[in-house]
Amino acid sequence: MLNNQEIISKLSTIKSTIVPITLAILVGFIFDWLNFPVGWLLGPMIAGIIYAIAQGTPQPLPRVIMMIGKAIIAIAIAFRFSPETIFLISTYAIPVVGCILITAALSMFKGYLLSLWSGVSRSTGFLASIPGGASAIVAMSEELGADAIAVAILQYLRLLLVVFIMPTAAIFISPAIDQTQTTTLLESGKTSIPMFGNLLVIAGCCGLGIWGGKLLRLPSSAFLGSFAVGLTTLWGAPYKLQVPQWLFAVGLLLVGISIGVQFDWQNARKLWKAILIDIGLVIVLIIGFFGVGYEFYNLTEVDLITSVLSFTPGGIEAMIATVNELGGDTGLVLAIQLTRTLTIILVGPGLTTLIVKRMKSSSVISKRSQVGEPSDWRHTGVRSQE
């Protein structure tokens, strides 16, 4: 039996969950009515930011809400992922690797400028500028000697700017959006199943994907786990499977509101200079990434929408949702984005540590040379007492 205090606590949790989700639904309908690109993601995100600011502190929702939203999006994308996409990315291996290296270099340079102009530490500037894998980067930032709060805010700011700017920019490249489409993979020789059975399959895929992703400790476990389960189910099932558009919108809503309510106004106010500088740098970075995507489009036979969204700096769920609505190659965008994200998670922190150490070493050598000290005590037999 629950005592009165536990009942009150549970009711408070339910209330703090229902209110922002209700607000997200209302704003989502408005954005959808106004035909905003990915309106069911952007609208709830804005609603969450407004709610968090009104409350005075971040109002994180139960983690399961974000996980369910990511799982639904992952299943929707898996049901559009054709086997040919796996072979397609290998066809463009050299351009993909080249573009990933260029975008990584642009991001690191942006981090250097951020630390130089805003006063944050080098490690904070670099980690805050790594595109993609934001949650993993924030989790590792403190161990790498960075300001975890600043990294979280600046990573989150990049995500917001990318999610706001790129879908809107993409709509001008490809203005025709089919709002009534269902996310489906059409295969000849397969029969359809009733929608209720279809939804049961989706629910099973989501549950198994979330559990499996956590068990295997995958980055963005709910998304990647559900995507893998959905892909396996799709290719092995004897039936045509689909995610109806309204369910896809629910997934976008849950992800959008979960991101929005985590906005921390108090901490953001303490980093005004860094935030203002970062806004300008992120916009320039987005333009640079757009240029990379455009060159990929020129070098390959991939359409412009797919090329641009494949190399956008972060916001993988939003980018996939955007290309899904605009009719690009969802599978290729996902494949390139995942390749970039996994590369960044594996290489980014180590590269950041190496660069920071090299810069510190160069700075120490420069200071010693200015005061007439030996630049390398190992060659003089005299160890500095600093």
pLDDT per position as a tens digit, 159-200: 778 877 877 777 676 654 444 444 444 444 567 778 888 889
Q: Greater confidence, 68 or 143?
A: 68
Query: pLDDT value at position 257?
Result: 87
* Res. 38 pLDDT band, cuts 50 70 90: low
pLDDT band at 26 (very low <50, low <70, confident <90, very high): very high
Percent of the chain with pLDDT over 90: 8
Instruction: Determine the Cα–Cα distance for residues 163 and 338; give it in Å rounded to an integer.
Output: 17
In a domain, 380, yes or no: no
* pTM over 0.85, yes/no: no
240 sits in which H/E element:
strand 239-240
Kindly state whether residue 73 falls inside one of the protein's structural domains.
Answer: yes
DSSP 244: -
Has residue 302 got a pLDDT over 80? yes
pLDDT, residue 23, reads: 93
Determine, yes or no, domain membership for 333. yes
Do 337 and 320 contact (CB within 8 A), yes or no? yes
Q: Where are the alpha helices (DSSP H) in 92-241?
A: 93-118, 122-129, 134-141, 148-173, 195-215, 221-236
Phi, psi values for residue 92, rounded to 5°: -105, 30
Based on the structure, what is the number of domains in the chain? 1
Do the beta carbons of residue 12 and residue 4 sit within 8 Å?
no
Residue 14 falls inside a structural domain: no
**377 in a domain, yes or no?**
no
> What is the token pair recorded at 174?
């490809």
DSSP state for residue 2 in the 8-state scheme: -
In a domain, 283, yes or no: yes
CA 179 from centre of chain:
23
pLDDT of residue 216: 84
* 324: Cβ contacts below 8 Å, ≥ 6 apart: 76, 77, 80, 183, 248, 330
Cβ contacts of 197-200, under 8 Å, gap ≥ 24? 198/241, 198/242, 199/247
**Do residues 314 and 132 lie in contact, with contact meaning Cβ atoms separated by under 8 Å?**
yes
Lowest mean pLDDT among 60-74, 178-192, 216-230: 178-192
Strand partners, 243: 183
**Mean pLDDT calculated for residue range 334-342:** 75
Nearest-angstrom CA–CA distance, 366 and 92: 44
Asked if the model's pLDDT at residue 131 lies above 80, the reply is: no
Domain housing 293? 63-367
Res 359: pLDDT: 59
242 SS3 class: strand
Cβ 247 vs Cβ 65: under 8 Å: no
Distance separating alpha carbons of residues 342 and 96, to the nearest angstrom: 14
Q: What is the pLDDT of residue 211?
A: 93
With respect to residue 55, please indicate whether it lies within any of the assigned structural domains: no
Quick check: 312 and 158 in contact, CB under 8 A? no
* Averaged pLDDT for residues 306-329: 76
Quick check: 173 and 308 in contact, CB under 8 A? yes
- Using left for φ > 0, alpha for ψ between -120 and 50, and beta otherwise, residue 381 falls in left
DSSP state of 188: T
Residue 53 placed within a domain = no
375 three-state secondary structure: coil
Contacts for 31 with CB less than 8 Å, ≥ 6 apart: 39, 40, 42, 43
Backbone angles phi, psi at 276, to 5 degrees: -65, -45
> How far is residue 33's CA from residue 39's CA, in Å, rounded to a whole number?
9
Supply 83's token pair: 């086997």
| Spatial contact of 344 and 104, defined as CB atoms under 8 Å apart | yes
- Measured between its terminal Cα atoms, the distance across the chain in Å is 63
Q: Are strands 239-240 and 191-192 parallel, antiparallel or unpaired?
A: parallel
Confidence of residue 208 (pLDDT cuts 50, 70, 90): very high
